[in-house]
């Protein structure tokens, strides 16, 4: 992010809701989702225990609260989903304290091998 900023480049966040992997009670069959599911099980974020729409909203708002992130690619198979996401984002960035809590949990739990997924 600092390098992109220094170069005057924008940043696009891909998969800002991690394929909503936390909604699966057991390991999903889709190998594309499995790394997110495994990581989120370990991270055990409190906000992921909220109703699905609220948790998605927090994940989106967190991603777009990060300095240097300019837009996010949120895929969906449901046509009306973009409207739900837009309503969630209307609440604005997450409070700095909540962003700090999410980051602190990541730093405490994340494995150094957890690189970005492509």
Domains within the chain, CATH numbers bracketed: 2-109 (3.20.20.100)
pLDDT of residue 79: 84
Residue-level pLDDT, tens digit, the chain, 118 residues: 889 989 999 999 999 999 999 999 999 999 999 999 999 999 999 999 999 989 999 999 999 999 899 999 988 888 888 899 999 999 999 999 999 999 999 999 998 888 887 6
Packing angle of the helix pair 52-65, 81-89 (nearest 10 deg) = 60
Q: Quote the pTM value.
A: 0.88
> Cβ(61)–Cβ(88) under 8 Å?
yes
- pLDDT score, position 50: 94
Task: Give residue 77's pLDDT.
Answer: 82
Q: Quote the CA–CA distance of 27 and 14 in Å, as a whole number.
A: 22
């Amino acid at each position: 992010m600092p390098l992109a900023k220094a170069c005057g480049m924008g940043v696009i966040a891909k998969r800002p809701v991690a394929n909503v992997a936390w909604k699966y009670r057991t390991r999903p069959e889709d190998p594309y989702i499995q790394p997110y599911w495994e990581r989120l099980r370990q991270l055990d974020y409190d906000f992921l225990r909220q109703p699905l729409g609220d948790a998605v909203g927090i994940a989106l708002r967190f991603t777009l609260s990060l300095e240097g992130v300019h837009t996010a690619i949120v895929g969906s198979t449901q046509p009306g989903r973009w409207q739900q996401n837009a309503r969630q984002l209307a609440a604005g960035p997450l409070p700095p304290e909540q962003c700090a809590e999410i980051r602190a949990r990541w730093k405490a739990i994340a494995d150094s091998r957890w690189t970005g997924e492509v």
